[in-house]
Homo-oligomer: A and B are copies of this chain.
Amino acid sequence: MAPPSSDQPADAAEAAQAGAISKVLVVIAMQTEALPLVTKFRLVEAATEESIFPKGAPWTRFHGDYKGLHIDLVWPGKDPILGVDSVGTVSAALVTYASIQLLKPDLIINAGTAGGFKAKGAGIGDVYLASDVAFHDRRIPIPVFDSYGIGARKTFATLNIVKQLNLKVGKLSTGDSLDMSPHDESAILSNDATVKDMEGAAVAYVAEMFSTPAIFVKAVTDIVDGEKPTAEEFLQNLISVTMALDQVA
């Protein structure tokens, strides 16, 4: 997909300093990833009577003011039958869509954990800001549909954030599986990705639809091209790496 015009690169930090950004929507996939940020930003959970989401949706919202910004932090919540976090592209797209419509944020921050590729320089606990996002599990081998499936997008330019927080920068590739099949791997290589998650490109798709700037901050919980199985390493590192994400915030 053609990247958005970059004739006039915007900068989230500069815009925030200039007062252009007053409402930030933080979209997170898992409760474990969200809670340290809730504490850090001193957010409070929206009471049932304050709920902005329709009855039936398990989506959860915390909100509060922090350093002059109003922050809404949402996550797709627990699956009502299975009790696990509603991870993946469909849930993330839905809660992002509903939150954009109901909260009209000036900026979206999709924060969370990711797999990293050591061949591209990633290590456990590294925090990346994504320069680009794309999907790696939407293969549609028909001309033009192929580009739609990959859904490659440049993210909102954030040079000052990178400098101020000393983040690493790399491309992010998104898919609905925690593991990586050979087909996924080939697409991830083609996407030139350093980090791999399960939500980013879907959040970017919805954000672009409504012209809302979005940035992607991903902390590495497991090395995809390493020796340990992803699921095991992911669970071992989820808590400690989530703390790294907290320290960047």
Residues of A within 8 A of B (CB): 1-2, 54-58, 79, 81-90, 93-94, 97-98, 101, 135, 137-142, 144-145, 147-149, 175-179, 181-183, 202, 205-206, 209-211, 229, 231, 234-235
- Complex Cα distance A205/B93, Å? 13
Is there an interface contact between A144 and B97, defined as CB atoms closer than 8 Å?
no
Contact partner of A138 (CB less than 8 A), chosen from B58, B101, B145, B176, is B176
Copies in the complex: 2
7 tightest Cβ-Cβ pairs between the two chains A and B: A139-B177, A138-B176, A181-B183, A56-B210, A140-B178, A90-B93, A141-B231
Least distance between A53 CB and chain B CB atoms (Å): 10
Identity of the chain B residue whose Cβ is nearest the Cβ of A229 in the assembled complex = B141
Least distance between A25 CB and chain B CB atoms (Å): 15
Is there an interface contact between B176 and A176, defined as CB atoms closer than 8 Å?
yes
Pick the most buried of A85, A89, A182, A229: most chain B CB atoms within 10 A of its CB.
A89
- Complex Cα distance A81/B2, Å? 8
